[in-house]
Structure 1
Amino acid sequence: MTDTALSTIAATLYAELPCNFISARDARVKAADGGELAAQIKALRKPSVAAWVVNLFAQERTAQLAEALRLAEELRKAQADLDAATLAKLGRERRTLTRRLAQNAVELATSRGERISASTLDAVERTISAAFFDPDAAAAVASGRLVRELDPSESVDLGAAVGGGTPEAPAPPAVPADEVSARRERRAAQRALRDAEQARERAEHTQMQAEKAHRDAAARMQSLEARVVELEAELAQTRTEAERARTAAAATAESEASAVGHLAEAERVESAAKDALDALIRAQSS
């Protein structure tokens, strides 16, 4: 909890033009007439120009800033349920909103007679962006008591970033119960749709795999059937050639048997002729 008197005075001082801060703070110290409150006011540090721009916007455009921070809080809570495409889309929308809020804040500061440089505008945008990512940064921005600009990539030290005491988290604008219910139902329906889309994608993938497997099996079946036809033709041709060889073998067997008979007869005739010759020679010799 912050001290109400100190935080109220700090908020007023941090909305002053930067060039008037010191004199306005000293006047508040003098009005406090000593004591702890005076010392606390005296300890308030002068804000940077970028911090002052954000403070001015937070105090004079409270509703606009609070609505933006509430949407940022809802997005942080919903991130776990969102797909990459939706998150990318929301991220682009958030960056656009951040730039618009920063530009509006700078225009408000310019209307107070302050010249705002491009580097200050950039610091304002980074500070508002930090509030979209970090609840502590959101509390610091909503307090209207920033002492320095914030950075989305750094953690927030509320004691160093805010003057006049640690701020409480900004209270979100009241949302009608029926709107809350509608949002819940819408988120549930979106989740159901995403689940259904993912299930369809998985089914499509399974179907494509099954179709490919069927095509591959059909192609292999056709190839094997064609090979069967080729092998059957080769088998028929081989059987025909085997039958011809069998017939030829039978014919040659008969020829061989006849040749064997002729050879035996020739050997018999030859032996008889030899015996006759031997007998003739013996007769002539006696």
Structure 2
Amino acid sequence: MADPTFEEIAATLYSGPPDAFVASRKARARSVDDRELASRILALRKPSVAAWVVNVFAQERAGQLGEALQLAAELREAQDDLDAPALAKLGRERRALTRRLAEMAAELAGSRGERITPATRDAVEGSISAAFFDPAAAGAVASGRLVRTIEPTASPDDIRDAVAGEISVLESVPQRPPDELQARRARREAERLLATAEKEQTAAERELEKRDAALRDLQDSATELADRVSELEAELARARAEAARVGEDLPPAKERRADAAKRAETAADAADRARRAVDAL
């Protein structure tokens, strides 16, 4: 059986009882034959209480933490394709998951007899939040060898300084195979295009409904106007026929009127002569 590595020894020490860290470190250094390794063990800094809480959770709940960090990696990858409302929802879900993991870590540490203050729990939550946003911080948290907690705004040097030993590739958040990532990206792009197409289809169908209604109104108006034109044309035809009849009757009527006027003039002359004759008697 191979001897434990420095990182394995450090992980064991950093998840042990905080009050016994110094004594455990000295005893472990004495138990190894390699002087250089013993010196590195003795140089290990005592972790803060919050870092110890994270280390205990990372080692005793490695599977659960690993799944959360894997999900965080996938969310980081997916967020470039999300719109503002989806990003806001993602942020709320990520904060809720961070808070839940921090509470679980605090409960686990509390079961070991350690008093966890609200400030300590907040520091634990900050480290888990940093792991959700930064792959390097995720590797540091998953290592179980934090000396101090990590802020979400920590620089690469800050993260490096917060961990005892190296952060190997194996401790980083596992990535999906390139072909699977490509398939996921292709699916997200296809889903985005589908959503856009469905949105455009809905808008086009609504526009079509509006145009259909407008066309029906115009067709109804055209029918009404055509009926009115037919009525007016029939009325015009009747008026023209009446005008033609009157035009035909007008010359004879004029002649009859002239004859009547002539007879009236003759009768007036006769009456005038008769009056004068009467007056002469």
Q: TM-score, normalized by length of structure 2?
A: 0.63
After superposition, the Cα gap between the structure-2 partners of 1:189 and 1:160, relative to the gap in structure 1 and judged at 3 Å, is: closer
- The answer to whether the 8 Å contact 1:127/1:150 transfers is yes
Which sits farther off after the overlay, 136-145 or 7-16? 7-16
Alpha-carbon displacement from aligned partner over 1:145-174 (angstroms, at most 9, x marks no partner): 2423524xxx21243454357964753477
Structure 1 residues 160 and 174: CA distance shift in structure 2, 3 A: closer
Task: Classify 1:90/1:184 alpha carbon distance in 2 versus 1 (closer, same or farther; 3 Å).
Answer: farther
Measure, in 2, the Cα distance between the counterparts of 1:207 and 1:120. Answer: 57
Counterpart position of 1:137? 137
| Pairing partner for 1:229 from 227, 230, 233 | 227
SS of alignment partner, residue 237 of structure 2: helix
CA deviation after TM superposition for structure 1 residue 220, in Å: 1.0
Identity %: 38
Matched, 1:148 2:146: no
Structure 1: how far apart are the matches of 2:180 and 2:156? 35
* Structure 2 residue identity aligned to 1:129: S
Distance 1:148 1:113 in 2: 20
Q: Per-residue deviation at 1:82? A: 5.8
Call closer, same or farther: CA 1:103–1:170 in 2, change over 3 Å: farther
Q: Following the alignment from structure 1 to structure 2, what is the Cα–Cα distance between the partners of residues 45 and 160?
A: 17
TM-score of the superposition, structure 1-length normalised?
Answer: 0.63
Question: Per-residue CA shift, 1:251-272, capped at 9, x if unaligned?
Answer: 445444554566689889999x
Residue deviations 1:83-128 (CA, integer Å, cap 9, x gap): 7887677666645543443233112211321111344334423331
| CA shift for structure 1 position 175 | 8.1
Distance 1:60 1:170, change over 3 A: farther
How many positions carry a matched residue from both structures? Answer: 261
Runs of at least 5 residues in structure 2 that lack an aligned partner in the other structure: 270-281
Provide the rounded CA distance (Å) in 2 between the counterparts of 1:146 and 1:26.
14
Q: Which structure would you say has the larger RCO, counting Cα contacts within 8 Å and 6 or more residues apart?
A: 1
Distance in 1 (CA, whole Å) between partners of 2:107 and 2:60 is 12
Please name the residue that 2:68 is paired with.
68
- CA distance in structure 2 between the partners assigned to 1:224 and 1:173 by the alignment: 71
Q: Residue deviations 1:178-217, cap 9 Å, x none?
A: xx86676566556545644553453454344334323321
Partner in structure 1 of residue 120 of structure 2: 120
